[in-house]
Homo-oligomer: A and B are copies of this chain.
């Protein structure tokens, strides 16, 4: 039987020489002030085991990791209709590029680039209930943690620095891809990005994706088996900004990253894993987090390929 605790301890030890090779996201001051040498990692197995190392209990800004969970809610609400409003192909461009959008009539390539995430939020906002509360409550339920909440300093700072996102939203609105008010959309999107969770929280929240949707941990069917497979597929082809190919090559797991330095990944049938380290590589993914996951799949001989 795999000794995950020993593996995590060894990984944490080996990460030390890797600090200082990336840069902390600093497009808003609130993110830039995080200590760059943070490192936490949690493995949550399908049979209930939870193994952590380092700063795994410390909440951090989930940022784009939220896109993974908002997609789940949108798929629950709208099923395959989601894919008539957003594609599932890699964009080949930076996460915040407007070019493809202009060439492709305002339909975003996938739900994990900003333009696509804005569409999934727009879908939630067209439904009943407060979208912000639904997102927060969904994460609280998945993470079994009722203290999860947004960091309003981060949220307000994001809202104040969202001109590129506003440009995207208005361009999509011109194409009929966005229905709700742009400022309310940006506010909700910045809310979801500013939610704070720990590696422990995130590993639990991602577990359903590893077990075909029914999780003993939650005692409930969170997602259909088919939805799980499909979300995992979208993570592999679109989950790591414009570094998906490199990540698949090195790590080989369905994963989603955020500029807060978090990455969640799943080993189908076995476990979910979350890692956090704030320094980013040039694609916007956690530098140390990627190295740690590469070592993890190598040591555990997991990986989907």
Residues of chain A having any CB pair with chain B under 8 Å: 87-93, 97-100, 102-103, 109-110, 163-164, 166-171, 173-174, 182, 228-230, 232-234, 236-238, 242-246, 248-249, 252, 254, 268, 303-305
Find the B residue at minimum CB distance from A304: B304
A89 smallest CB distance to B (angstroms): 4
Contact of A100 among B92, B109, B234 (CB under 8 A): B92
Contact of A305 among B92, B97, B100, B236 (CB under 8 A): B236
A103 smallest CB distance to B (angstroms): 8
Nearest 7 A-B pairs (CB), nearest first?
A: A92-B92, A232-B305, A163-B174, A233-B248, A167-B170, A90-B90, A167-B171
A6 smallest CB distance to B (angstroms): 23
Find the B residue at minimum CB distance from A109: B92
Which of chain B's residues have a CB closer than 8 A to the CB of A93? 92
Interface centre among A109, A233, A234, A243 (most CB of B within 10 A): A233
A248 smallest CB distance to B (angstroms): 4
Find the B residue at minimum CB distance from A242: B89
Q: Are A90 and B170 in contact (CB under 8 A)?
A: no
Contact of A237 among B100, B170, B248 (CB under 8 A): B248
A184 smallest CB distance to B (angstroms): 15
With A and B bound together, what is the CA distance between A252 and B92 in angstroms? 20
Which of chain B's residues have a CB closer than 8 A to the CB of A232? 252, 305
Find the B residue at minimum CB distance from A238: B245
With A and B bound together, what is the CA distance between A243 and B233 in angstroms? 13
Contact A170/B163 with A89-B245, A98-B98 known, Cβ cut-off 8 Å: yes
Q: Are A98 and B102 in contact (CB under 8 A)?
A: yes
With A and B bound together, what is the CA distance between A245 and B163 in angstroms? 29
With A and B bound together, what is the CA distance between A99 and B93 in angstroms? 12
Contact A245/B168 with A98-B102, A99-B102, A236-B236 known, Cβ cut-off 8 Å: no
Which of chain B's residues have a CB closer than 8 A to the CB of A245? 87-90, 110, 233-234, 237-238
A185 smallest CB distance to B (angstroms): 12
Q: Are B252 and A229 in contact (CB under 8 A)?
A: yes
Which of chain B's residues have a CB closer than 8 A to the CB of A182? 166
Find the B residue at minimum CB distance from A92: B92
Q: Are B164 and A170 in contact (CB under 8 A)?
A: yes
With A and B bound together, what is the CA distance between A89 and B89 in angstroms? 12
With A and B bound together, what is the CA distance between A243 and B92 in angstroms? 13
Contact A252/B233 with A93-B92, A167-B168 known, Cβ cut-off 8 Å: yes
Q: Are B166 and A89 in contact (CB under 8 A)?
A: no
Q: Are B92 and A91 in contact (CB under 8 A)?
A: yes
Which of chain B's residues have a CB closer than 8 A to the CB of A248? 233-234, 236-237
Q: Are A90 and B237 in contact (CB under 8 A)?
A: yes
A197 smallest CB distance to B (angstroms): 23
A132 smallest CB distance to B (angstroms): 22
With A and B bound together, what is the CA distance between A249 and B167 in angstroms? 30
